[in-house]
Copies of this chain bind each other. A is one copy, B any other.
Amino acid sequence: MPLGEFGRIERYLKPLAAGFPGALGLTDDAAVFGVPAGHELVVTTDALVAGVHFLADDPPADIAAKMLRVNLSDLAAMGAEPLAYSLVTSLPAGLGDEWLADFAAQLAEDQRDYGIHLMGGDSVSTPGAVTLSVTAFGLVPAGQALRRGGADPGDLVFVSGTIGDAVLGLAVLQGNLTAADPQPLIDRYRRPRPRLSLVPVLRRFATAGLDVSDGLVADLGHLCEVSGRAAVIHADRVPLSAATRAVLAADATLLATALTGGDDYEIVFTVKPEDRDALLASGADVTEIGRLVPGGEPGSVTVLDAAGQPLPLPSRGWTHF
């Protein structure tokens, strides 16, 4: 017999809230907590819908990991340390308890890995698709949150990790791409890696930044829009994994896909030129890919190929509607 709403909360969700006193053990309609003196709260929300943001038959553990990590990625990009999150699950009535058990087990693992706890939320049934949303809370020293605005001409553009793996992994999963070494690509699509380790570096050096979810070019474009600036980046400087390099060696036209596909959950950010050496000396896994330029249409991003010519791009990135 299925557990029912209260039984599910009791068995699967309450244990996830045990580490955060402000969750009040999920007994009440709200969480209650303070913010340490000298700190601000950073609050971000991301929703995922089956058939839009993940495939309906994806393993529930992958869905849980993606859902929580895309929010952790937003916290990292704002320069915030994770504190807690609230969770809304809208699940079809026919979805078995086993689905929720697997989902919650992955959340428990990620909570340990990333130092965050469940603080509350809501559990409802839906006649439609599985719909999940997380509101994640982080802490930042007052005034130190990293924003999209604030970058100036001359600032260098850096990106963390590697770009393009996730969109190629999705293409493999959809049967649109054959790769010699598909697993690292698929893993990047299914299990984003929020760059929380970069938080101290971002707080110290970044003038503006955000995480790459819509695509490198689109997200750098968002930074440029809010900063009122234009950027030029060099396609051949964008860091690529060995698996992605192998795919591009077979079909060079996929470079545009890698640069615009999204789901990377890396961080693109800007740095004053005089801070370049100190940033690189910090040992952070980041790569310089271009700079903000004087003039230019605010929000524009020009991508140059290895010959210094503009690379034509079919679209800048993903939009949800």
Contacts and interface: CB of A to CB of B under 8 A. Distances in A.
A152 to B, nearest CB: 17
Copies, count: 2
| Most-contacted residue by chain B among A6, A37, A211, A320 (CB, 10 A) | A320
A34 B48 CA distance: 28
A128 B125 contact: no
Contacts of A53: 124
A140 interface: yes
A47 B88 contact: yes
A133 interface: yes
Give the contact-size bracket for chain A. Answer: 35 or more
A106 interface: no
Nearest to A39: B34
Nearest to A6: B319
Contacts of A33: 40-41, 43
Nearest to A149: B27
A50 to B, nearest CB: 8
Interface of A: 2, 4-6, 8, 24, 27-35, 37, 39-49, 51-53, 74-75, 77-78, 80, 86, 88, 90, 93, 119-129, 131, 133, 135, 137-138, 140, 142, 145, 147-149, 210-211, 226, 319-321
21 contacts: A4-B321, A27-B147, A28-B147, A28-B226, A29-B44, A29-B210, A30-B78, A30-B145, A32-B42, A32-B140, A33-B40, A33-B41, A47-B90, A47-B122, A49-B127, A53-B124, A88-B133, A90-B131, A122-B133, A127-B129, A128-B131
